[in-house]
Amino acid sequence: MSNLLVIGTQWGDEGKGKIVDFLAPAFEIIARYQGGHNAGHTVYLAGKKIVLHLIPSGILHPDKICVIGNGLVVSPQAFFKEINDLKALGVEVNEKRLVVSRAAQVIMPYHSLVEKINEALRGQKMIGTTCRGIGPCYEDKAARWGIRVADLLEPEILKEKIEDNLAAKNKIFEAFGYAPLKAEPIFEEYRELGEKLAPFVRDVSVFLHEQIKAGKSILFEGAQGALLDIDHGTYPYVTSSNSTAGGVCTGLGLSPKQVHSVLGIAKAYTTRVGSGPFPTELKDETGALIARKGDEFGATTGRPRRCGWFDAVAVRYACRVNGVDLMALTKPDVLEGLKEIKACFAYRYKGSRLTEFPAEPWILEKIEPEYRTFPVWSKSIHRLRNLEELPLGFLDYLHWLEDTLEIKVALISTGVDREDIICLKEEMQKILGERASWLF
Ligand code: IMP
């Protein structure tokens, strides 16, 4: 048995969807443990672009079971829309291969209105959220106002909870000039959604423990990235869940002993959507070129992503917090065509050198990155599939990354298709054992 966590080591959008899709054949179950439909996991299948927001990327493999854990916030509307979109693409989705936790929180219509008010109140200091109601739903969870999936299945309880919520929230809406929301239509809509959702709903912790007992392996699919984690990210410019490794246990009802290894995903440069500090950001033509070549537009909101150089200080921090065993490097081919490539290895702050990542925005906003510069490799690596074909210039850059992070790169993504990947078999064998051979 070898359960693996796939986790983003930057501010999200590292290419986790593609890596999960590649690794899925080695597992029976793919489980998400946090976030919601703020995520956008892009997978290209036979040249077709598929963006998954809430359902784990493993769903594209017909023999896999996908799990939505209690740590998620679930929009039932987004859930059914995604199922319909997948069905339109010929992907069979049913309750035999998709499981939703009874204890997951439900995103309600008032959450997006609360989010709108919150962001407006922040003014210039807005977080730049995805406006999916994610933050306010997690706020309600912590404030003990939350409505859980199991509540949708009990009409009387659901009705009471909606009324209680609106009694409190309507006071806020009215104070901000919005019309109060009526409980009845929301109750009717969500009662019906609950009926539709019921076949998918299970006790996920019990389900996963049974599967583990039966010798099945789980691929844990992290959403967002380590630097967006509510505790370990660049607070307050973060999402509202624990995207880091600890979230797996709380978000699925598993023990830390059931996470056997961790694969960190990093893009060969850095991107960020929304507000917040970004030490290696390029606000010049080079940044714009990376954005164009890398098609750096938010998979969920379509917003342009801010682009910058690879930041090894930040990625090293993410590797420590998550206990990363091996790395996957994505999109290095995007850097081809630039005059030179830079990667940050340390920060200068108030005259001294920082090699540990300070998560505080007011420090990050003032630091000066120290860069190592690399020439662009002579031969394109785009769509290469064998290690032996990689040019020396790229290998120099890759080995520098490995030495700086003190972690080996086991996967190199060289294009958007499932097959555009270089896989270091011996390294993958170290974490997956004989299951690694299921990938080749
Ligand atoms: P929220 O998760 O919608 O509350 O947004 C909080 C912050 O996290 C914003 O800066 C978003 O742009 C960012 N964010 C949320 N989900 C993702 C993602 O999947 N990729 C990249 N950024 C994200």
Q: What are phi and psi of 18, to 5 degrees?
A: -65, -40
Token pair of 328, please?
């996957």
Whether residues 319 and 224 fall in one domain: yes
CATH number at residue 124: 1.10.300.10
* Ligand 1 pocket, mutate which of 73, 229, 273, 306 (most atoms under 8 A from CB): 273
Whether residues 398 and 346 fall in one domain: yes
Count of domains for the chain: 2
Residues of the chain with pLDDT under 50: none
Token pair of 305, please?
């992503």
Token pair of 173, please?
């809406």
What pLDDT is attached to residue 303?
Answer: 86
Q: Whose CA is nearest to atom 19 of ligand 1?
A: 39
Whether residues 150 and 40 fall in one domain: no
* Residue 46 zone, left/alpha/beta (φ > 0; ψ -120 to 50; rest): left
Whether residues 265 and 177 fall in one domain: no
What positions carry a catalytic annotation?
13, 41
Is the CB of 234 within 6 Å of ligand 1? no
CATH number at residue 243: 3.40.440.10
Whether residues 260 and 345 fall in one domain: yes
Tell which atom from ligand 1 comes closest to the C-alpha of 38. 16
Q: How far does the centroid of ligand 1 lie from the alpha carbon of residue 151, in Å? A: 27
Whether residues 31 and 82 fall in one domain: yes
Q: How far does the centroid of ligand 1 lie from the alpha carbon of residue 194, in Å? A: 27
**Domain that residue 193 falls in:** 105-199
Q: What are phi and psi of 344, to 5 degrees?
A: -85, 135
Question: In terms of Cα–Cα distance, which of 336, 329, 343, 359 is closest to 427?
Answer: 329
What pLDDT is attached to residue 16?
Answer: 95
Is the CB of 15 within 6 Å of ligand 1? no
Token pair of 93, please?
């989705």
CA dist., res. 106 & res. 94, Å (int): 20
The model's pLDDT over 405-432, given as tens digits with 9 standing for 90+, comes to 999 999 999 999 989 999 999 999 999 9
Whether residues 399 and 269 fall in one domain: yes
Which residues partner with 267 through β-bridges? 330
| Domain end residue (candidates: 184, 199, 214) | 199
Q: How far does the centroid of ligand 1 lie from the alpha carbon of residue 438, in Å? A: 33
Whether residues 90 and 119 fall in one domain: no
CA dist., res. 386 & res. 378, Å (int): 17
Whether residues 79 and 133 fall in one domain: no
| Domain end residue (candidates: 199, 223, 241) | 199
User: CB-based burial of residue 381 (10 Å sphere; 0-12 exposed, 13-18 middle, 19+ buried)?
Assistant: buried
What pLDDT is attached to residue 45?
Answer: 81
Whether residues 194 and 68 fall in one domain: no
Q: How far does the centroid of ligand 1 lie from the alpha carbon of residue 403, in Å? A: 30
Q: What are phi and psi of 329, to 5 degrees?
A: -105, 130
Tell which atom from ligand 1 comes closest to the C-alpha of 41. 19
Whether residues 282 and 397 fall in one domain: yes
Whether residues 146 and 86 fall in one domain: no
| Domain end residue (candidates: 149, 173, 199) | 199
Q: How far does the centroid of ligand 1 lie from the alpha carbon of residue 39, in Å? A: 7
Is the CB of 127 within 6 Å of ligand 1? yes
